[in-house]
Structure 1
Amino acid sequence: MAARMLSLIPSIPYPVEAEGRWLPVTSTIDWCEENYYATTYSAEIVNTLTNLLFMYLAAKGIHNVLTQGHDGVFLVGFVGYLLVGIGSFLFHSTLKYPFQLVDELSMIYTTCLMCFATFSYGGSRRYRNTLAASLVLLSLFITIYYHYLQDPTFHEVVYAILTVIVVVRSLFLMETNLRPRWRSKAREAANPRLRGQGPAAVMIENERDQKILREMWIMFFWGVSIFLSGFALWAVDNISCSSLVSLRRKIGLPWGVLLELHGWWHLMTGVGAYAYLVWGIWLRHCLDYKQDEYELVWPRWTSMPVVLKRQPKYQINGTDEKLKELVRN
């Protein structure tokens, strides 16, 4: 019955695997997408082109950091995110080992950078320098050992551990600094907006921070859900590769492209990683008492969030009636 239904779907047969421009394969991984079936210039065409989302979101993030005055560490973070996309593009195009290293090690370096951004907050200069040196040494160790071992499992485990550490630390900072019942008296006393203010100002501050926390948790679960869904598809792609290849060939093109699950992994982890970086930017501004200077702009779940400077209360744009009244008077 299923085979009969598939035969009714208009499609074209999958071409056979062919000799490609970048042979021989030297990478330690050859993914489930069949090689050079679409063009001789790209070993895995879907896995290659899905990295364009990384490049687009990286450009969006870099532009946002440069135009909105965000911390420079996030500029470096988005540059690292861009290198992941470029490295993965070249890796899947060629299946060459050097580009595999660019792809995978960029992930490690960018995550280590986020480790520094997260763990260095509030520390002394000596602590930050020690942390930076430790993370550089860790990155060098991972690079050398991975090149020696050439076992993708090592990279996957290390990347997962670093990512969990960064995320847990970020959540801890968010909750202990923004949630009123867990916020320390020292932080409250250091808040420049509350100096000389009474309980009413504290109440307004708390209500605003509670609202921000709700937004940040929603954004966190949104990003993590997409990221983990991508990871699940990545795992299915690895475990059930032969079945997926057979099913793709039965369905034919272009529909079989939808079963290139590693491509979905690129799209979904790209969105998840971008969401984390934007979430980190928003958290940093909140930790720096700049909640009233910046805002998270995220009109709907299908859009990409950004953190923007708040517009001045009165703008000379010809539409502000209050300003017009002040000018007339």
Structure 2
Amino acid sequence: MYTTIKHKQGKRMFACYGAQMFVGCGSACFHATLKYTTQMLDELPMLYLCAFVFYALVEADKKPAYGVLFPSALFAFQAGITLTYLFWMQSPVFHQVAFGLTSVACVVFGLRRMKEMRLSNHTSRILSRMHLLGHVGMWGGFLAWNLDNVFCHRLRSYRSQVGTPLDTLLQLHGWWHILTAYGSTYLLLWVHFIRLARLGHDHLFTVRYRLGFLPYVALKNPKKID
């Protein structure tokens, strides 16, 4: 969020990163309380994050192509899903299907955007790497989550046998959160760079790491820019 402001990269990516932060806050509230209301703060923001990403990919140019029509339709769609989930189909499967379909739409449209542009080798490498790492994180987390659901009692037994700190390795629900956090971050960086390429600014930027493992978009040669 800071880099989007620092480099004046518009409100769309700022909103995407902000939505991701909101997902993290909602998830923390839910796991701290285990209440239904905070569960909604965990699950529904995931849909809203996808909506922001989808908007950023569809409206990737400097000026919106569809005016208020597209964001209004997107808002109505998300509002319909939210109301349906809250008052009619209160099933985790409904949320998972809605989230999965929206995520697939984002990935498909992102790949379509990549094919539309003539990308430099530098940008192509970054986009391919961010896309790959994003999927590794998301699908790895999804696998860990499902294994934890299926083998929960057995994993508890194994954790009690190995003891601390090795039992941490078998906390698969925790690994689900870590892997999906990294996966979603890399996919947001992928979307961010698609946006930069669309605006013709991608040659000025690259992906760097804070503390060796926290990726962010940064200027390639900040001294030359200054």
- The TM-score normalised by the length of structure 2 is 0.90
Out of 192, 204, 208, which is 1:298 matched to? Answer: 208
Out of 183, 187, 191, which is 1:280 matched to? Answer: 191
Query: Whose Rg is larger?
Result: 1
User: Cα distance, 1:154 vs. partner?
Assistant: 0.8
Distance 1:314 1:222 in 2: 29
Change in 2 beyond 3 A, CA 1:313/1:125: closer
Q: 2:224 matched to which residue of 1?
A: 313
Distance 2:218 2:85 in 1: 39
Distance 2:123 2:147 in 1: 36
For the 8 Å contact 2:137–2:184, the answer to whether it is kept is no
* Superposed CA offset, 1:208-256 (max 9, x none): x133212211221122112211111011011111111121122223322
Q: Which amino acid in 2 is paired with 1:127?
A: Y
Q: 2:90 matched to which residue of 1?
A: 150
Q: Which amino acid in 2 is paired with 1:90?
A: C
Q: 2:104 matched to which residue of 1?
A: 164
Distance 2:182 2:151 in 1: 25
Change in 2 beyond 3 A, CA 1:74/1:173: same
* Superposed CA offset, 1:271-300 (max 9, x none): 1111111221221111111133x2113369
Q: In the comparison of the two structures, how many residue pairs are matched?
A: 223
Distance 2:217 2:165 in 1: 37
Change in 2 beyond 3 A, CA 1:125/1:78: closer
Matched, 1:119 2:58: yes
Out of 161, 167, 172, which is 1:250 matched to? Answer: 161
Distance 1:86 1:98 in 2: 14
Q: 2:118 matched to which residue of 1?
A: 178
For the 8 Å contact 2:62–2:199, the answer to whether it is kept is no
Point out the more displaced range, 218-227 or 265-274: 218-227
For the 8 Å contact 1:178–1:213, the answer to whether it is kept is no
For structure 1, the 5+ residue unaligned runs are: 1-61, 180-208, 316-329
Distance 1:272 1:278 in 2: 10
Change in 2 beyond 3 A, CA 1:63/1:223: same
* Superposed CA offset, 1:103-158 (max 9, x none): 10010011111111111234975724111011111111111111122111111111
User: Cα distance, 1:178 vs. partner?
Assistant: 2.3
Q: Which amino acid in 2 is paired with 1:94?
A: T
Change in 2 beyond 3 A, CA 1:277/1:125: closer
SS in 1 for 2:222: coil
Distance 1:153 1:175 in 2: 33
Q: Percent identity?
A: 29
Out of 44, 52, 61, which is 1:105 matched to? Answer: 44
SS in 2 for 1:127: coil
Distance 1:215 1:144 in 2: 38
For the 8 Å contact 2:209–2:216, the answer to whether it is kept is no
User: Cα distance, 1:86 vs. partner?
Assistant: 0.8
Q: Which amino acid in 2 is paired with 1:160?
A: G
Out of 142, 147, 150, which is 1:239 matched to? Answer: 150
For structure 2, the 5+ residue unaligned runs are: none
Q: 4+ residue stretches of structure 1 with deviation over 6 A? A: none
Matched, 1:66 2:66: no
- The TM-score normalised by the length of structure 1 is 0.63
Matched, 1:230 2:141: yes
User: Cα distance, 1:270 vs. partner?
Assistant: 0.4
Matched, 1:269 2:208: no
Q: Which amino acid in 1 is paired with 2:215?
A: P
Point out the more displaced range, 248-257 or 234-243: 248-257
For the 8 Å contact 2:207–2:217, the answer to whether it is kept is yes
* Superposed CA offset, 1:181-214 (max 9, x none): xxxxxxxxxxxxxxxxxxxxxxxxxxxx133212
Distance 1:314 1:105 in 2: 40
Distance 1:71 1:239 in 2: 43
Residues 2-41 of structure 1 mapped to structure 2, 5 A cutoff: none
SS in 1 for 2:224: coil
